[in-house]
Amino acid sequence: MKIKNAITCDHCKTENEYYREKCKNCKSYLRARVFNIDLWSTIWHLFETPGKSFTNIVYAENKNYAFILLLVLGFKYFLNTIVIANVFIIKDVNAQFTFWKFLPFIGIFIGAFIVLNLFLTLLMNLIGYKNRFKSVASVLVYAFIPMLFVLIIFTPVEFALFGESWFFSNPSPYFIKPTASIVLYGIEILGYLWCFILCIRGFHILTRSKIAAVVFSLIYISIFTAGMYYMHLI
């Protein structure tokens, strides 16, 4: 099958997978070598030039920091699941019981993340968008950096203003401080929408196709969101 996201070697005109460092035919260099991901530079470029940031993530030989960020993302995902379960699904979940579920939750979250990214990598490869699992997984971990910013900056504010009520809605944050609760819920939603936009940009780097980027992002974010809604059943 023709590679849809190929790059062409300037020397021998062979089509190569876009992430290759050397041409598979003549061994000429196709791009500069990238050894490691520079965490702070990468995060900064996610704000400024996300395409450059995701490209460096794909090219990096060592996808360092990706697993650590995945663990932190799992914690934020866990908190979001508790909030959603209490607000929309079941009321007055016992706090002590819920937090005992944290470690198995993280294990299931990481397993589900790996399976989902394997599935998307295989799907992209089947239809001609050649990619490596580690590149896809790393790009999508970094695409959720906005959720981690919300966790670090705003979760302490939420807890300071509402205590356990922010997570367990007993009473609802809206009844404690209506304006503050609406603003913080809005920030949470905007952060998540920002993640969706970064997913589109990340998939565009992975596929070199705007249409494919939107389609894969919709699939990914839909599954990711559904997980937050149903993971309370664990």
Same domain, 169 and 219: yes
Distance between CA atoms of residues 219 and 89, nearest Å:
23
Write the pLDDT tens digit of every residue in 56-86.
Answer: 999 999 998 999 999 999 999 988 988 887 7
Report pLDDT for 195: 96
Q: What is the value of pTM for the model shown?
A: 0.89
Domain that holds residue 3: 1-33
Same domain, 89 and 174: yes
Write the pLDDT tens digit of every residue in 202-222.
Answer: 999 999 999 999 999 999 999
Write the pLDDT tens digit of every residue in 6-17.
Answer: 899 988 989 999
Same domain, 94 and 192: yes
Rounded to 5 degrees, what angle do the CA atoms 218, 133, 121 make?
A: 40
Same domain, 13 and 47: no
Same domain, 93 and 4: no
Same domain, 119 and 183: yes
Percent of the chain surpassing pLDDT 90: 60
Same domain, 142 and 45: yes
Same domain, 3 and 51: no
| Tokens matching residue 183 | 């603003």
Same domain, 80 and 190: yes
| Tokens matching residue 113 | 């993340």
Average pLDDT value for the chain: 89
Same domain, 115 and 19: no
Same domain, 29 and 41: no
